Amino acid sequence: MSPENVQEESAPERSPAAFRVRSARTGAARPFDRFPAAVDKRAASTPPANGVVAFKFGGSSLLGAERILHAAGLARRAARSSSVAVVVSAMKGVTDHLLSIAHALSDGKLTRARQEAEVVLNLHLDVLHDLRLGEGHDLRVRRELQLLGCDLLHEVPVQGFVAASAELFDRLASFGERFSARLFAAALEKLGIAAVPVASSEFVLTCDTFRDAQPHLEQTKQRGREILLPLLHEGIVPVVTGFIGSTPDGRITTLGRNSSDFSGAIIAHVIDADELVIWTDVDGIYTANPSESGEARLLHELSYDEAHALAASGAKVLHAKVLPLAAETDMVIWIRNTFNPQARGTRIGPDHGIPRPSQVRGAV
Ligand code: ASP
Ligand code: MG
């Protein structure tokens, strides 16, 4: 971890970044144990009264500045009527890229690993450029990305030997979400919405099974509320990294590939969100794969049991751990299309009251 990151972040006056300090160990931002003066500590222990929604954006919804701004626009619209927390994946393809750095390291190909790391940093700097932020704002976010880039390059030495452990794979893989959270928060701010990137490794506490870590929900909820609720009460959108957590001694873990839907559900649970909206690139859940079958029908409403039956029959519904957590906590989940936000999407909830077993038939 580069020593430059052991510092208070320079941040605009409103930003709660002023209340955070970076951890030298994990690169995760962690809160000072004091609250913004304006927020009453007791009030901040319950979610804002106007209701909270959690939006999770997948990698294809974040591929490039135009898409990030579009997604941020969806969050801005929701922020008019309720408090919003955003959970982001890495930009599409970035996690694979980061893992290829880990593979290059384990093969002893240090030069290639370093070149790849530079490609990843430049990819995000290019998106920042395309966001066309105001000059001061651009400088500030550029500095944040560059600090993160230093941390990434620090993992990839110019010479020597690197033991490519599962722990290193997770540390490297974590950078995608850490980059995209910064870019998404910057896009929201460009649209006039106060936002701050939050590293989920600050509060998603996991076991140390790297690459497939299990979260400890109780402690995660307790720690997460201390960080997220004061932001929501201040009208600041936390933009939280999906995919990553940390062990009790502060080492970065990941919850497994494609787990950011699960992170979305965890974060929605932490803040008692009324709804979790998973924004993706299809209109919702279908009876069959719409690109393969003309018969495919979009399902508007599903109970947890119906969604479970669909998943069990092989349909690509949601990450396997989302439904159990949603059912346990009565969480309403929407699957919606970022690129077609007019479409209503699929709602998965406790019980829609209209039994439609026929909807499940023919699912693939
Ligand atoms: N970025 C992670 C992956 O590619 C998590 C996710 O996208 O859900 O596996
Ligand atoms: Mg994904």
Nearest-angstrom CA–CA distance, 113 and 105: 6
Q: Residue count of the chain, please give it.
A: 364
CA of residue 247 to ligand 2 center, whole Å:
23
Residue keyed to tokens 């690197």:
162
Task: Please name the residue whose Cα sits nearest to atom 5 of ligand 1.
Answer: 258
Nearest to 264 by CA among 74, 89, 69, 60: 89
CA of residue 35 to ligand 2 center, whole Å:
33
Nearest-angstrom CA–CA distance, 245 and 223: 12
Give 304-335 pLDDT, tens digit per residue.
999 988 888 877 778 999 999 999 999 999 99
DSSP assigned state of 8: B
- pLDDT at res. 42: 58
The encoded tokens of residue 223 equal 């720690």
What atom of ligand 1 comes closest to residue 177's alpha carbon? 1
Nearest to 156 by CA among 87, 103, 199: 103
- Span 166-178, mean pLDDT? 97
- pLDDT at res. 362: 31
- pLDDT at res. 40: 59
Q: Given phi > 0 = left and psi -120 to 50 = alpha, else beta, which region is 278? A: beta
Give 109-143 pLDDT, tens digit per residue.
999 999 999 999 999 999 999 999 999 999 999 99
Residue-wise DSSP of 108-139:
T-HHHHHHHHHHHHHHHHHHHHHH---HHHHH
Nearest-angstrom CA–CA distance, 149 and 98: 12
Nearest-angstrom CA–CA distance, 242 and 85: 12
Nearest to 258 by CA among 65, 86, 90: 90
Nearest-angstrom CA–CA distance, 172 and 312: 32
Least confident range from 182-186, 196-200, 216-220, 313-317: namely: 313-317
- Span 285-312, mean pLDDT? 88
CA of residue 180 to ligand 1 center, whole Å:
12
What atom of ligand 1 comes closest to residue 260's alpha carbon? 8
Task: Please name the residue whose Cα sits nearest to atom 8 of ligand 1.
Answer: 258
What atom of ligand 1 comes closest to residue 96's alpha carbon? 4
H-run or E-run covering 277: strand 275-280
CA of residue 101 to ligand 2 center, whole Å:
19
- Measured from CB, residues less than 6 Å from any atom of ligand 1 are 59, 89-90, 95, 176, 242-243, 257-260
- pLDDT at res. 50: 85
Residue 88 identity: V
Mutate to test the pocket of ligand 1, among 89, 97, 280 (most ligand atoms within 8 A of CB): 89
- pLDDT at res. 285: 92
pLDDT at 103 over 50: yes
- pLDDT at res. 39: 52
